[in-house]
Amino acid sequence: MEKFKRNDRVAGLIKILSDNPNHLFTLNYFSELFAAAKSTISEDITAAKKIVEQISLGRIETISGAAGGVKYRPYVEKSDARSFLEELCDRLKDPKRIIPGNYIYMSDVIYDPRVSAKAGEIFATHFMNSGAEYVITIETKGITLAHTTARALNIPLVIIRRENRVTEGSTVSINYVSGSTKRIQTMFVSKRAIPEGKKVLIIDDFMKAGGTAKGIVELMKEIKVEVAGMGFLMKTTEPKEKLVHDYISLLEVDEVDEDNGTINIYKDMLFC
């Protein structure tokens, strides 16, 4: 079998670990892959850990014991998160994004793989120790952000539907009042999606009054599931009192003025 040099092994380690965030690999796996002794692999892991932390790529953690191994945890330093969100604000302040009705066109940003991946890592960093076992969102725009967050945490994604679908099997549904439109709407989740007693993380793209988020929380109560946290890419300044609490948002939009062509959007206070 071909012998790998130290630099090759370290590069391979970083690539494999970062491609599989929060997945625990045994030393045996890398020992067999690189045809090297466990002691050599341990030294490689130490070198990889140093490189990853020095250039703020995340964190490599080792777990001792018979069931131990090594895993990569996405971790975004607060300074890096601030820089990313400032860049995102500048991008979203473009007056050309204003849609009649004082809305902001955001689809191209939300579906930008670089943006969604970074936002997912920021959410994962914040909720790393929440104990969440599933990420949930409601269709449709929040799916990309929820998916990248779930990938970073290495936990399943569950999508709540606005319409009942035969392919979901038996479902649980609730009616809720949208906080922004004040209209009664319905959401559905498959009974098979999340076992009772699990913890979930709610991730979505936008929150105004929090009616939809509150609806998701109530739906989780119906299936006896605990909400461990909530994260939104953007929230509005008004109304100040939201229908949910204990959440984080990355951005806050204060005012969209179609007449003057201005969009006031900022990093949320958590990242200032």
pLDDT digits (tens, 9 = 90+) for 54-105: 999 999 999 988 778 999 999 999 999 999 999 999 999 999 999 998 889 9
pLDDT of residue 179: 63
Looking at domain 78-271, its CATH architecture is 3-Layer(aba) Sandwich (3.40)
pLDDT of residue 178: 79
pLDDT of residue 1: 58
Question: What's the gap between Cα 3 and its chain centre?
Answer: 38
pLDDT of residue 97: 95
DSSP 8-state secondary structure symbol assigned to residue 258: T
Calculate the alpha carbon distances from 262 to 77, 124, 258 in Å: 30, 32, 7
Size of the chain in residues? 272
What is the share, in percent, of the chain residues with pLDDT greater than 90? Answer: 87
Q: Hunting for tokens 């990309």 — which residue is that?
A: 144
pLDDT of residue 197: 97
Domains 6-73 and 78-271 share a fold: no
Q: pTM score, two decimals?
A: 0.93
Residue ranges in the chain modelled with pLDDT below 70: 1-2, 179-181
Tokens of residue 257, six digits: 């003025």
pLDDT digits (tens, 9 = 90+) for 91-103: 999 999 999 988 8
Domain boundaries, the chain: 6-73, 78-271
Q: Are 156 and 107 contacting, i.e. CB atoms less than 8 angstroms apart? A: no
Burial bucket for residue 51 (CB in 10 Å: 0-12, 13-18, 19+): middle
pLDDT of residue 195: 97
Tokens of residue 260, six digits: 């003057």
pLDDT of residue 180: 64
What is the CATH T-level fold of the domain 6-73, as seen in this structure? Arc Repressor Mutant, subunit A (1.10.10)
Task: Spell out the residues 6+ positions from residue 55 whose beta carbon is closer than 8 angstroms to its own.
Answer: none
Closest CA to 121 of 169, 173, 168, 85: 85
Which residue type sits at 110? Answer: I
Task: Spell out the residues 6+ positions from residue 123 whose beta carbon is closer than 8 angstroms to its own.
Answer: 145, 149, 152, 201, 203, 231, 248
